[in-house]
Amino acid sequence: MNNSEEPQWELDDEFKTLTITFPTDPPVAFVLDTESVSKLIEGAGQIRAEMPPPHDETWEGGQMVDAVLDPRWYTEPDALLGEPLLHIRDPRYGWLHYALPRESARALGTLLILQADEGPADDQEQPRKN
């Protein structure tokens, strides 16, 4: 699709509804409230997880990203095995939930402590993945 064939996204003046207009003949528009937008995002994410190609399995450090500054987070053991559950709040997607095996949780915790205590190290690349 080129730019003239892409859907148009418009948030109303009160930030309460999103209108998505598709450039069909005739044009079709969907007006969604906050709850409907959240359901659309969740449903699209679940479907995207099944579509090829999958997202990259690895992350190449040093890329520019649109990071969320100091997101809220919560941890707890899962109810079945007691493995760590990590919940992170993203203002775009809501609460995201990650089940971490103990070994991955330890590696992540150790690396976060090192980075928080030492700051960035230009001369030594530290591992950043599980």
Chain-centroid distance, C-alpha 96: 7
Give Rg (Cα) of the chain. 20
- The set of residues, in sequence order, having a beta carbon less than 8 Å from that of 51 and lying 6+ positions away, is none
pTM of the entire predicted model: 0.80
Q: Percent of the chain beyond pLDDT 70?
A: 88
What is the pLDDT, as a whole number, of residue 2? 44
pLDDT at 104 over 80: yes
The three-class DSSP label of residue 77 is strand
Task: Return d(Cα 71, Cα 64) in angstroms, integer.
Answer: 18
pLDDT attached to residue 54? 97
**How many Å from the N-terminal Cα to the C-terminal Cα in the chain?**
37
| Angstrom distance (rounded) from CA 128 to CA 125 | 9
Average pLDDT over residues 53-62: 94
Q: Where are the alpha helices (DSSP H) in the chain?
A: 34-48, 102-118
Residue 118's pLDDT band, with cuts at 50, 70 and 90, is: confident
**126 or 78, which is more confident?**
78
Determine the distance from the C-alpha atom of residue 25 to the mean position of all C-alpha atoms in its chain, rounded to a whole number.
34
Q: With cut-offs at 50, 70 and 90, classify the pLDDT of residue 7.
A: very high
Whether omega before 53 lies within 30 degrees of 0, making that bond cis, reads: yes
Q: Listing from the earlier edge strand, what are the strands of the sheet with 73-77?
A: 73-77, 84-90, 94-99
Inform me whether the pLDDT recorded for 123 exceeds 60: no
